[in-house]
Amino acid sequence: MFEAQPQAELEAKMKSNTEFRQLYYRHQELDKQVMDAELGVLPLDDMTLGQMKREKLAAKDRLIRMYDSH
């Protein structure tokens, strides 16, 4: 998600902002679960998968706003 950003900036943001760090790790966790569900490794119903995708997108949007605001 922040591949184009300098790694040092991302690490500094994660150290200085607890909410950003927690949201970042939550997004990564959701990303892995969604990918596993789409591969068939994690059995989920369509409603749950859709909810996870929406939460992942909301987390990404919030992270980008937080990153850009500082």
d(CA 25, CA 61): 14
- Would you state the structure tokens that stand for residue 22, as one six-digit string? 């927690």
Which has the higher per-residue pLDDT, 19 or 70? Answer: 19
Chain segment 16-29, per-residue pLDDT in tens: 999 999 999 999 99
Q: For residue 26, which of 69, 65, 62, 70 has the smallest C-alpha distance?
A: 62
Predicted pLDDT at 5: 86
pTM: 0.89
Report the amino acid identity of residue 64. Answer: I
State the residue for tokens 């679960």: 33
Which has the higher per-residue pLDDT, 61 or 2? Answer: 61
Q: For residue 42, which of 29, 24, 54, 55 has the smallest C-alpha distance?
A: 29
Chain segment 30-69, per-residue pLDDT in tens: 999 999 999 999 999 999 999 999 999 999 999 999 999 8
